[in-house]
Each structure stands twice: as C-alpha cells, then as structure tokens.
Amino acid sequence: MAEEEITGMYELLDALEEALNASDPRKREELAKTIDTYHEDFPEDFHWAIGAQSPVLLHHLMIAIDVACRPSTESKPRSVIRLVDRKPEGNA
C-alpha cells in the first residue's frame, strides 16, 4: 500500500513563496515596503509576530491568502475551531 502524501506547513510556505516570486515585481516591492513600515511603526508587534507565539497574525494571514488567491465564487468559508473548552454548566 502506497503512503499518502501530506501537505504540511513547509509545502504551504513553498507554494506561497513561489506565488510571491511569480507576482508583479512592483507589488512585491510595495509589500516589502509595507512590511518594513509595519516593523518601524510597531517593532514589538513585528518581532512578536515573527516569533513562535503568533497565532493571531497567522490566523489573519492565512485567511487573507486563502481569499486573495481564488475567485470569490470559489472562496471556502472556514469554521472556527475552539481550542479552549467552554465553561462547565451547572454545578461542575
């Protein structure tokens, strides 16, 4: 039985890098300038965002990439996954 290939984080990052490399150089330059300006305006946030504990930025980044790379008719709504249990009800 052949092993099923998995698409993981590194495949996603490689695809993103390839898409950005293939895009309009002026738009890439503008994106780089925007990243630099964000770093200048919010250095603590920027350094936190590129660190290991950056779930909020990653959440927004993933949604923006997903929506931007497909026609609106093919956009896939994603459900919210709760990572924290709700408060117990009753006398628990």
| 18 found inside a domain | no
| 8 found inside a domain | no
d(CA 63, CA 36): 22
| 50 found inside a domain | yes
Q: Please choose, from the candidates 23, 38, 29, the residue with its C-alpha nearest in 3D space to the C-alpha of residue 68.
A: 23
The boundaries of the domain holding residue 65 are 28-72
| 22 found inside a domain | no
d(CA 60, CA 81): 14
Per-residue pLDDT of the chain (92 residues; tens, 9 = 90+): 778 899 988 888 889 889 988 999 999 999 999 999 999 999 998 888 888 778 887 878 877 887 787 776 666 655 555 555 556 666 65
d(CA 85, CA 63): 23
| 14 found inside a domain | no
d(CA 36, CA 46): 9
Instruction: Judge whether 32 and 24 are in contact, CB under 8 Å.
Output: no
| 36 found inside a domain | yes
Please tell me the pTM assigned to this model: 0.62
| 61 found inside a domain | yes
| 48 found inside a domain | yes
Number of domains in the chain: 1
